[in-house]
């Protein structure tokens, strides 16, 4: 590659190398940040799903405790076709 730019002034050559290195550094920083953001999203998604599963277990096992925890008024005798 250097043969192609042998007629280039040294200061331009050095600037080009500096720009290339800076671009590579920013690319690595961006890749690192994307990876961390994806991992953070996965962690938050997992935590949310676990909370939903816990709420569902409480709902299925103890509707009174579920209603108290969420200040709700779900009834245990809900059946299809029966209006509230």
pLDDT at 71 over 70: yes
Q: What count of Cα atoms within 13 Å lies in the side-chain half-sphere of residue 56?
A: 6
| Residue-level pLDDT at 9 | 86
Residue 32 token pair = 């690192």
Write down the pTM of the prediction: 0.53
Q: Please identify which residue in the block is written with the tokens 């939903």.
A: 52
CA–CA separation, 46 and 38 (whole Å): 12
17/23 Cα distance (integer angstroms): 10
The ranges assigned to domains in the chain are 8-70
> Tokens in use for 53?
């599963």
Distance CA 75, CA 63 (A): 8
Instruction: Encode pLDDT of 33-63 as tens digits.
Output: 999 999 999 999 999 999 999 888 888 888 8
């Amino acid at each position: 590659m250097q043969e192609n730019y042998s007629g280039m002034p040294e200061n331009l050559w050095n600037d080009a190398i500096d720009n290339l290195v800076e671009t590579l550094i920013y690319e690595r920083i961006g890749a690192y940040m994307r990876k961390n953001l994806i991992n953070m999203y996965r962690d938050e998604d997992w935590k949310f799903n676990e909370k939903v599963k816990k709420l569902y277990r409480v709902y299925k096992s103890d509707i009174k405790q579920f209603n108290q925890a969420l200040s709700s008024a779900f009834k245990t005798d809900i059946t299809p076709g029966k209006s509230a």
